Each structure stands twice: as C-alpha cells, then as structure tokens.
Amino acid sequence: MNAFEIIEREIIKYPKTVIIGHIQPDGDCVGASLGLKYLIEDNYGVSPVVVNQAISRFEFLGAWTLPGNVDYSDAFVIQVDNSTRERSADPEFMGAPSILKIDHHIVMDSYGHENIEELLSSCCEIIASHAMARNLKISQDAARCLYTGMVTDTGRFAYPSVGPDTLRIAARLLDTGFDMSFLIARINERTMDNVQFMAHAYSQLRISEKGVLYMYVTQDVIDRFHLTPDMVSEALSCMRDIKDHPIFVLFADLNGKVRVEFRSDRIKINQVAVAFGGGGHAFACGARLDDSSMIPDVVRELEKYL
C-alpha cells in the first residue's frame, strides 16, 4: 500500500497528526520528518507536529518540538526512520490510537498499526517515491528535506544501497529548483571544535590483531571538544576507505552507556549488532553496551567476519 493512502485516510479521523523521529537524529531522520510535514501541509491542509531531539546541524531545514511535550491519546502518529519502538525520540507514542511506521531498515519490530517497511537507501527515498507515485505536490521545502536525508544516508550516493531509482528520485527532487549547492554547503559546514576533534580522532585509530579498525571516544574527549552525538559519528570517516580494513567500528560514551556504530565494505555484519542488543542495515548498524569493558568482545566477534 502507498503510505499516503494511509495518511489520507487517518488524518481526517484525529484532531492532530504527529511525526516522530528516532533518538540521536541524523539527516535522514530530520529530513524524513520535516519533508513529510511539508508534504502533508501542501497536499492535505493539515499541519503536523514534528517531534525530534535537538540537533543544531539540521535546524536550517525547519523547526520541531522536543520530546515530552505532546499528548498522543488523540493523535495519528507517523514514526519515521526507526526500526524499533525503543529507539523512538518519544516512546510515549505507543499510546496513540493510530500509528503508521515508515522505515527502511531490516525489519525487527513492526510496531505500527500500519507498517511501510522497505529496504531502500533511506527513509526519505521511501517517502519521496510514495509521494511521486501519488502525484503529490512537492514544494522546494519538502524536496530540500527529502534530498538531505537521501544524500546523507547514502554517503553522497556512494553506498551499495543506492540503485538507479534512488538517483531518478533525487533528480526529480532537484527539478523543484531548491538550491542544492547551498544545501550541501550547510551539510558540510564544520566548527573549529569539529576540525580539532577530527585531528584527534586520527591519532586514536586502533587496529585489532586480525584487522578490524576501531576507535573509542570517551566522555572526556566529548566534553573537551563540545561534541554532540552526530559530531562524534563523524569520526567514522577517519576509518572509511582505509585499504585492507573493510570492517570498522566506532565506540562512544553516551548517557552512561557505550554507543556502537558498525560499518563495513560489503561484509554483512548486522548479526553482530543484533548479538549485542542492536540492529540496522547489513553494512551499517548499531548497538549499545553497558560499559567499555565489552569493547574487546565486540571486536573479537567482528574479527570472525574477516
């Protein structure tokens, strides 16, 4: 079923529509939630509430409400880019009478009353493709947001998840006339703290006995460089494309636990993430550890895939 068939049916049943992202939002999360908001406003005359955690990097795309400020008891909820209910920016949404899940990850938890789950390059690609299939109006604001999610979640259209349709959809978004060069400049913009952290990160690269690249960013480093979670994630670029090391992983302190981001070059490693309580895509996934003493266990498990 087309996602907008469900949206058209449900938005008239409830006094408010709420779009929610996931914890530690990235470009696809923010782009999908705000892009969907603009599509609904422009085509159905309804103004959804968007709920996301704070992330300054993408504030230029639009405004949203912080978690904990919405009553879901009478809402139609659309949860975007989120594979499991626990990773929602506001888990209270599960009390809503109508829930639509739109997600592009490997299916682990079909928690919606309706679920649109497609293994595409980004959640924004799903939303854009469904909007185009329904011949909906796509404004420059909506296109800008959807393109942001597509370009950031595909590594500038370089990841294996990118297919011919991905580029066709991106081209149709560009046809709306939004300023793509300005958008990319804003996405690439970095503070001096960013730059200094990246210099530090290169010095912290580690290689396991069998060749797994990894790095651990401690809370002290996060505090020293004033890093947000998305800024920490940029350290993955230090390890990407290093010859003869197709598996790399970033560990970082976060709220008393250790966040893990797994990446690989065409080696399916998502089962390692699942083994440590996480999930995600075959070549890009994540998990949480109770403490840093588990880091060697993760690295040893990844070594089995080399």
Tokens found for residue 163: 């297919």
| 147-187 residue pLDDT tens | 999 999 999 998 889 999 999 999 999 999 999 999 999 99
Average the pLDDT over 104-118 and give the result: 95
Q: Over pLDDT 70: what percentage of the chain?
A: 100
CA distance 51 to 272: 30
Average the pLDDT over 109-114 and give the result: 96
Q: How long, in residues, is the chain?
A: 306
Q: Which fold would CATH assign to domain 192-303?
A: Diaminopimelate Epimerase; Chain A, domain 1 (3.10.310)
Amino acid (one-letter) located at 240: R
pTM (2 d.p.): 0.89
Across the strands, what pairs with 258? Answer: 253, 289
Alpha carbon 118 to chain centroid distance?
15
Which CATH architecture group holds 3-187? Alpha-Beta Complex (3.90)
Tokens found for residue 240: 């990407």
Tokens found for residue 211: 């060749």
CA distance 252 to 49: 31
Domain boundaries, given as residue ranges, for the chain: 3-187, 192-303
Average the pLDDT over 21-47 and give the result: 96
**Structural contact between residues 204 and 239, judged by C-beta atoms closer than 8 angstroms:** no
CA distance 133 to 138: 12
Average the pLDDT over 57-75 and give the result: 96
Closest CA to 38 of 201, 114, 149, 155: 149
- Give the pLDDT score at 115: 98
- Give the pLDDT score at 229: 86
Give me the helices (H) in 95-163, please: 123-133, 140-153
**Structural contact between residues 131 and 4, judged by C-beta atoms closer than 8 angstroms:** yes
Q: Over pLDDT 90: what percentage of the chain?
A: 87
**Structural contact between residues 73 and 95, judged by C-beta atoms closer than 8 angstroms:** yes
Strand-strand pairing, 206-207 and 247-254: unpaired
Site of tokens 């409830």: 14
φ, ψ dihedrals at 118, nearest 5°: -135, 135
pLDDT-based confidence at residue 228 (cuts at 50, 70, 90): confident
Tokens found for residue 68: 């904990």
Average the pLDDT over 244-257 and give the result: 95
Site of tokens 């907008």: 4
| 176-185 residue pLDDT tens | 999 999 999 9
- Helix/strand/coil percent split, the chain, to 5: 40, 20, 40
Angle 102-42-29 from CA coordinates, rounded to 5°: 30
Strand-strand pairing, 257-264 and 114-117: unpaired
Average the pLDDT over 48-63 and give the result: 94
| 137-146 residue pLDDT tens | 999 999 999 9
C-alpha torsion sign, points 62, 253, 257, 273:
positive
Angle 218-220-221 from CA coordinates, rounded to 5°: 70
Angle 36-41-45 from CA coordinates, rounded to 5°: 145
pLDDT at 108 over 90: no
